[in-house]
Structure 1
Amino acid sequence: MTTLRHGDRSRAVRTLQKNLNNHGAKLDVDGSYGDDTEAAVRAYQLKVGLVADGVAGNKTQTSLAGGDCAKLLRNNDLTAAAERLGVPLASIYAINEVESKGKGFLGNGKPVILFERHVMYRQLAKVRHEGDDPAELKRQADQLAAVNPALVNPKSGGYSGGTAEHQRLAMARLIDDTAALESASWGAFQIMGFHWQRLGYTRMQDFVAAMSASESQQFDAFTRFIETDPVLHKALKARKWAEFAKLYNGPDYQRNLYDVKLQRAYERHADCGCGQGVAA
């Protein structure tokens, strides 16, 4: 399903406008995604509790068509996060729009994940208990890497994508359950499992249960991730988008223009007046 946004002109926009009119909007069905259509999308999103960003993505279009939205991110999740982090709501809209993968669940209902074999290698060699021998742990990790290079490997790669990532994870769990779960990134914001303690979860399995419950829980983990990184949090509060993107996306952030996208998204949400509500 194609994401539709301000400035688009297409038959899909005409369909969107008709569907919005079926839900009480009074739009000219002209196929042009202008200010009125964006306002109607935001109004509909607010009415049903979806993220009110004015962008008609898969979630909004599914909802308009009568689909199940029980596990989807809610607008009040974003307003609560803005309050908690002490930033304008427009900033939260921006990072949700740019940093989210767009959806937190696959078609089969399982959370979106990406299994990282190089992290599995590292986690297997990690000293976890008093008396652990680092040299022996590394030897065992190397041995497993030689036998199962697709699952344990000093180098990243080997991705299958989609539901196949769950098959890779299931096989890795047979080697070591906790290390495997720690070695996957989870949900719409791709939070690595090994952060579970820092984020305040009692057990690795509790983190996984939260990521499997809803996009709201996934966004809560993302909020905790920002909250527990003082430098990242400070960059967000100051709206230093390049610094925020570098910290969150890594040194290659400029290649994908993450900082530019964040700045533009923030300005759009702030300009419409609907991204306010929390003092800068």
Structure 2
Amino acid sequence: MSVLRHGDRGQEVRVLQQRLNLQGAGLNPDGIYGDSTEAAVRDYQRKVGLVIDGIAGQKTVMALSGDDCSNLLQHASLVSAAARLGVDLAVVMAVNEVESQGSGFLDNGKPKILFERHIMYRQLETPRTPEDDAAALKKHADQLAASQPNLVNPNAGGYAGGSAEHQRLANARLIDDVCALESASWGAFQVMGYHAVRLGYGSVQDFVTRMSKNENEQFEAFVRFVEADAGLLKSLKGKKWATFAKEYNGPDYARNLYDTKLERAYQRHAVGCPVPEAA
């Protein structure tokens, strides 16, 4: 399904306009995504609680089609996050647009994950108590890497994608439940499980339960992640997009143009987004 926005033309836009009219928009279904259509999309998003960006993406179309959208990210969560972080609402909206994986859930209702076999290796070999024998843990991790390299490996890789990642995770949990859950990234913002306790969750199991509920919980994990990193928060407050992208996405951020995408998204959302008053 195409993402429709201001300036688009064609049959998909006409269908969108017709669906909006069923919600009382009163548009001329001319197939042109102009100011009136964008305003109608914003009005509908506001009505149902979705992120108010004027873009007709998958979530807006799902809602217009009558699908259950109770687990989708709500605009109120972005407003609350902007106040907590002390940034413009447009900053939060830009980050949500660029850094999220679109939807935080697969079609089967499970949260999006990516299982990292090299993190599993690291977690298995890392002592957790003073009584742990580091040498024995490493030997065990190496044995598993030799027998099950797709699940435990010093090197990244082995990705299956989509729902198959949940099968990889299920197999890894048979080896060590905690290490396996810590070794997957979760939800729309792909926060790693091993951050759970540092971010204030009771355990990695508590974190996973929350990530499985809805996108608002997934976004909460992202906000906590930013709050816990002074450098990341500083770059976000200063709109230092390259610095933020490098810290959040890693050294390949420039190759994927994350900083450019963030700046452009911010400029779009800045129009009409209120700046929070200083405390």
Tell whether the structures are fold-level matches, with TM greater than 0.5: yes
1:106 corresponds in structure 2 to 106
Give structure 1 regions of 4+ aligned residues with deviation exceeding 4 angstroms: none
Structure 2 counterpart of 1:231, one-letter code: G
CA deviation map 1:210-264 (0-9, x unaligned) = 0001100000000000010000000000111111111111111111111111111
Match runs of 1:5-44 below 5 Å: 5-44=5-44
Structure 1 residue matching 2:201: 3-state secondary structure: coil
Match runs of 1:57-206 below 5 Å: 57-206=57-206
C-alpha displacement of 1:26: 2.2
Which of the residues 254, 276, 280 maps onto 2:274?
276
Q: How many residues get paired?
A: 278
- Two-structure CA RMSD over aligned residues (Å): 1.0
What runs of 5+ residues in structure 2 fail to find an aligned partner? Answer: none
Separation of aligned partners in 2, 1:34 and 1:246: 35
C-alpha displacement of 1:134: 1.3
Match runs of 1:45-64 below 5 Å: 45-64=45-64
Note if contact 1:106-1:162 (Cα within 8 Å) is conserved in structure 2.
Answer: yes
Separation of aligned partners in 2, 1:221 and 1:279: 25
Structure 2 counterpart of 1:29, one-letter code: P
Structure 2 residue matching 1:175: 3-state secondary structure: coil
Q: TM-score, normalised by structure 2?
A: 0.97
Separation of aligned partners in 1, 2:158 and 2:10: 38
Q: TM-score, normalised by structure 1?
A: 0.97
Separation of aligned partners in 1, 2:36 and 2:226: 34
Note if contact 1:88-1:279 (Cα within 8 Å) is conserved in structure 2.
Answer: no
Structure 1 residue matching 2:255: 3-state secondary structure: helix
Note if contact 1:253-1:259 (Cα within 8 Å) is conserved in structure 2.
Answer: yes
C-alpha displacement of 1:279: 4.0
Note if contact 1:7-1:34 (Cα within 8 Å) is conserved in structure 2.
Answer: yes
What runs of 5+ residues in structure 1 fail to find an aligned partner? Answer: none
2:4 corresponds in structure 1 to 4
Percentage identity across paired residues of the two chains = 64
